[in-house]
């Protein structure tokens, strides 16, 4: 396997992983904000 191809795939995997982590953290933050909003409405 070519080294440059391997590095390219490795970078692609790392970028995808990082994007997934950022998306998950944003999703969790949005869910927490929604919970806080519904909690304030109930009170």
pLDDT given for residue 43 in this prediction = 58
pLDDT given for residue 37 in this prediction = 83
Domain ranges of the chain: 15-43
pLDDT in tens, the chain (43 residues): 689 999 999 999 999 999 888 888 888 888 888 888 888 776 5
Distance, CA of 26 to CA of 20 (rounded, Å): 10
pLDDT given for residue 1 in this prediction = 66
pLDDT given for residue 39 in this prediction = 83
pLDDT given for residue 23 in this prediction = 84
pLDDT given for residue 40 in this prediction = 79
Structure tokens belonging to residue 34? 């929604």
- DSSP H stretches of helix in 1-43: 3-42
């Amino acid at each position: 396997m070519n080294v440059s191809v391997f590095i390219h795939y490795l970078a692609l995997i790392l970028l995808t992983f990082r994007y997934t982590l950022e998306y998950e953290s944003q999703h969790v933050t949005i869910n927490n904000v929604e919970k806080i909003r519904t909690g304030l409405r109930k009170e």
